[in-house]
Amino acid sequence: MRTGRVFFATVLSLCASVPAHAHATASGASGYQQIGEPPVMDNTVFYHLFFNQMEGRTNGPDNEFRWEGEGWIGTDMNRLWLKSEGFVENGIMTDGDQEALYDRPIPHLRYFDLQAGVRYDLDSNPGRTWGAIGIEGLAPYFFEFAPTFYFNDRGVAGRIEGSYDVLITNRLIAQPQFELNFYSRSDPSREVGSGLSELDTGVRIRYELSRKFAPYIGFAYTGQYGAAAGFVRNEDGITNDPRFIFGVRVWY
Amino acid sequence: MRIRSAAMRDRLPDVKRVSSGITRRGFVQGIVAGGVMSVLDLWRWPTAAMARNGASSPPILSGNNFNLTVGRVPVNFTGRLAYATAVNGLVPGPTLRWREGDNVILAVTNHLKEQTSIHWHGIRTPSDMDGVPGLSFPGIEPGETFVYRFPVRQSGTYWYHSHSHFQEQTGHYGALIIDRADQRQADHDRDYVIVLSDWTDQNPATVLSNLKHQSSYYNFHQRTVGTLFADVGKKGLDATVSDRLIWGRMNMAPTDILDVSGATYTYLLNGNSPASNWTGIFQPRERVRLRFINASSMTIFDVRIPGLRMSVVQADGNDVEPVSVDEFRISVAEVYDVIVQPQEASAYTIFAQAEDRTGYARGTLAPSYGMSGTIPPMDPRPIRTMADMGMNMGAMKMDQTGAMAGMKMEDGNKPSNAHRMPAMDMGNPPEYARRARMIGANAPGQPGPHTSAEFKAPDMGDMAAPIANKVKIAIGPQVDNVAEVPTERLSTAGEGFPADRRVLSYADLRAVYRGTDPRPPDREIEVHSTGNMERFIWGFDGLKFSDAEPIRLKLGERVRITLVNDTMMEHPVHLHGLWSEIENGNGEFRPYKHTVNVKPGERLSFLVSADTPGQWAFHCHLLFHMESGMFRAVIVS
């Protein structure tokens, strides 16, 4: 659909303009005679990679690997985000979702960023490309919240993610988390159905040996609903799938 | 009776001086033979002969001609080998001793692989000698030597440090003592410099990067489920829940005291970790002068010497009427000289605990080496309150009963106007009333510390002074809070002190000498310290340095700078090249400072005489706040 292509072009040009814009603001302070380098570098580029979920999930007979990772690079006000998630079971990758998003804080809000870019469903099933636009940030009471809207020529989709850190101690932290996926149209080859298609939720209890390395255990539940549940049942799959999980939360 | 006015300080001719750099009776050089720090053995530095053992002071270099080097040296403060940026191979660098009236020449050679600089903190130099790369000079490139030359027109205790990147965090700092030109007899028997600092084995760039991703990275004292139950037990369920809801609604934590904590820092006293126990020698009944310099990058210290009263005699290099205290809070870059007079031949602990109580620097005063006093437990951690957020205390009380009235903290809230409610209009805390009386008693007709339009009008109606710009700050990605009701907090040192201790406050500082410039200010400049804790973005008036215009002053003009702290952290604000005369109610005896600590939710003002032309830095002296944007150029022309 043409609107989709126009959108991608816009997003790509937005992304391409990031470094140029960052550079422009780096020398934005005017009115003084700069002798050599600026006196402070308050617009430098930082980057981080982090995996909130990198875990094995088991229900006894079945084991699967799950990851959910993100990374960002940029200045305070202009960032490129990369997001990746998926499952691997018996060498088959499902629910693969890779996103590249331009991120910018929303004016007049303290803790929310606007993110826009592309999503590509890359796994063992047929790939799909989506345009993506959403917000991500900290809702009041330290509630991490990220609703995203996706669209392509097959229809639209939505995802809502949320999580909350409960500090049992300053190092032992319980994190309830959920992810809901909605689609406007069924896509049987990817086992997604219209309406609420899938819920992934869980609670992880991690111990922060350091801020950047925290092993955890927990419990996760994945469920398919409506049409999606039908597709899964046709493949003799499980539509209500509770599992124990163990993994490690790392960042760099 | 005053022997002379401070005005004379700037006009004194060069004084021919005796060749001996040390004239003061009983001055302790502190270079102790033997026991050279093992880590320094690794480094054949030209001045390695001056390397000291673990319990001595930095060596003193005096005179008016200095050769200094800046290089990378191996150090071991934590049990692990790390690299420091050191002046003459030492952390802290040598103590420089100048004499008022001299012309000093300092040749600084850069042995680093990156640019360096030395800024003479608090020294009134021509602006091209101020040592700020980008503003006053291009910096000192690797292999280069830059020669600083300027006349010394002041006396007192100061310090120097790098103004390049993060070198200050990695050890590039040292003390500066300027002796008076008039050879006045010293009123102390012994004299020690106490340089407090914070050290991390981590790369400072990594520390800042961690904070950008998780601002609570170094805070391991956040509220937890455990403290929830404890609070319910102490304060009851309603109060606890409503308090948690207020902070939670803002996504802020009252446990945010310092951004970087003892989780990564080792706190040093004259370059000694608490274990290596720096020791200063005294004989009973001697008067011992201790020159405290906070050369930290991010740590505010609370200093006391259990068993001794301290008489504060100088602040930021300028003599003040002695104030007897049990404890003082020294913000980053501040300097306090105190005199103690131990009566007994026993060991006393100099105890400098970090404001967030995650660690301490420690040293000992004792009649002989090898002694050590009792190390007291650290005090309870302070906790931020709604007053720190600049919020209306009345509304806060309503909140305790469950109503959220008055708490306008929603995202996208319309910009608040900090002028709307001057400090006088709020619930008049007792200390405020006390201050108001003092202002009336001590300085009739002098402008007090209250500079809101409402208060100033009757006082200064004949001055034709334009009223301050109404600085409007909007909540947004770079501003997480605007103090609705910033308050005058000069009579308190801040939170975290037991009630039975006498703690120094800015209101206690009364200059010995009359101010040099009796003119009232021509105008007022209001500057807000702003930031977003969660994103770790800092600035003034909602803007980072790189997005902002400089502050312009006319050469010769007299201005009032009013600082409003919209954030929940202290900010030690340092104006280069010009004095900051704090309007603390002492009229013409207002204290001259180079670094003004603004507490959370506070509004205070200082007067500035723009008497030296050039480009000057104006910034928060917390290194990572400065490097995140809380910095302005001030142009005097």
Helices B237-250, B225-235: inter-axial angle, 10-degree rounding = 130
B225 and A166 in contact by Cβ < 8 A? yes
Distance, in angstroms, between B575 CA and closest chain A CA?
14
Identify all chain A residues contacting B479, using CB atoms and an 8 Å cutoff.
110
Contact between A37 and B134 using a beta-carbon 8 Å cutoff: yes
pLDDT at B247: 87
> Looking at A185-189, B113-117, B348-352, which range is the least confident one?
A185-189
Report the DSSP beta bridge partners of residue A180.
A160, A199
Q: Is the pLDDT of residue B348 over 80?
A: yes
CA distance A135 to B561: 39
Distance from CA of A231 to the nearest CA of B (A): 40
Distance from CA of A219 to the nearest CA of B (A): 21
Least CB–CB distance from A29: residue in B477, B547, B628 = B547
Identify which of A226-240, B223-237, B306-320 has the greatest average pLDDT.
Answer: B306-320
Q: Which residue in the set B224, B251, B629 is minimally distant from A142, CB to CB?
A: B251
Query: Please, which pLDDT band fits residue B187 given cuts at 50, 70 and 90?
Result: confident
Alpha-carbon separation of residue B230 from B223, B348, B385 (angstroms): 10, 35, 18
Give the pLDDT of residue A100. Answer: 98
Q: How far A225 CA sits from the closest chain B CA (Å)?
A: 34
Contacts of B498 (CB under 8 A, 6+ apart): B379
pLDDT of residue A150: 97
CB contact under 8 Å between B213 and A48, yes or no, is yes
Mean per-residue pLDDT for B460-480?
62
CA distance B319 to B335: 11
Please give the angle made by the CA atoms of B80, B85 and B86, to the nearest 5 degrees: 105
Tokens found for residue A83: 């997001």
Sign for the CA dihedral angle at B450, B356, A206, B224 comes to: negative
**Torsion angle, alpha carbons of B11, B14, B17, B19, to 10:** 130
More confident residue, A11 or B531: B531
The per-residue pLDDT for B400 is 37
What is the predicted pLDDT for the residue at B392?
61
Average pLDDT, chain B: 82
The pLDDT of residue B55:
54
Q: How far apart are CA A192 and CA A198, in angstroms?
A: 8
Q: Quote the DSSP letter at residue A9.
A: H
B471 pLDDT more than 90:
no
Q: Kindly tell me if the per-residue pLDDT of B456 is higher than 80.
A: no
Q: Which residues of chain B lie closer than 8 angstroms to A249, CB-CB?
A: none
A37 CB within 8 Å of a chain B CB: yes
Distance, in Å, from the CA atom of B224 to the CA atom of B263, rounded to the nearest integer, reads 18
Task: Indicate the pLDDT class of residue B42, thresholds 50, 70 and 90.
Answer: very low
The Cα–Cα gap between B14 and B300 comes to 37
Q: What is the CA radius of gyration of chain A?
A: 20
Q: Tell me the C-alpha distance between B245 and B222, whole Å.
A: 15
Cα–Cα separations (whole angstroms), residue A249 to A217, A225, B311:
10, 29, 52
Contact B546 A43 (CB under 8 A): yes
Contacts of A167 in chain B (CB under 8 A): 222-225
Q: Are B476 and A110 in contact (CB < 8 Å)?
A: yes
Most distant CA pair in chain B, distance: 72
**So what's the pLDDT on residue B450?**
35
pLDDT of residue B470: 62
Q: Is the peptide bond before B92 cis (omega within 30 degrees of 0)?
A: yes
Give per-residue pLDDT as tens, B493-521: 999 999 999 999 999 999 999 999 999 99
Which residue of chain A comes nearest to B221, CA vs CA? A170
In Å, how far is B505's CA from the nearest CA of chain A? 31
Six-digit token pair at B566?
A: 């919209």
Tens-digit pLDDT string for chain A (252 aa): 444 454 445 444 444 444 433 333 344 567 888 998 999 999 999 999 999 999 999 998 899 999 999 999 999 999 999 999 999 998 999 889 999 999 999 999 999 999 999 999 999 899 999 999 999 999 988 999 999 999 999 899 999 999 999 999 999 999 999 999 999 999 999 999 999 999 999 999 999 999 999 999 999 999 999 999 999 898 888 889 999 999 999 999
A78 touches chain B (CB under 8 A): no
How would you classify the pairing of strands A172-183 and A166-167?
antiparallel
Question: pLDDT value at position B399?
Answer: 38
pLDDT at B483: 87
State residue B244's pLDDT score.
87
Partner-chain residue, chosen from A77, A166, A170, that has the shortest CB–CB distance to B221? A170
* 8 Å CB contact of B224 and A142: no
Neighbouring residues of B306: CB distance < 8 A, sequence distance ≥ 6: B348, B349, B351, B373, B374, B376
Tally of CA atoms within 13 A in the half-sphere of B283 that contains its CB: 4
Show which of residues 39-68 on chain A sit within 8 Å of chain B, judged by CB atoms: 39-43, 46, 48, 50
Q: Which residues contact B112 (CB under 8 A, 6 or more apart)?
A: B70, B71, B72, B85, B142
* Window 129-188 of A, Cβ < 8 Å to B: 138, 140-142, 166-171
Q: Is B500 on the interface with A (CB under 8 A)?
A: no
Give the minimum alpha-carbon distance from A139 to chain B in angstroms, rounded to a whole number: 8
What is the C-alpha to C-alpha distance for residues A10 and A17, in angstroms, rounded to an integer? 11
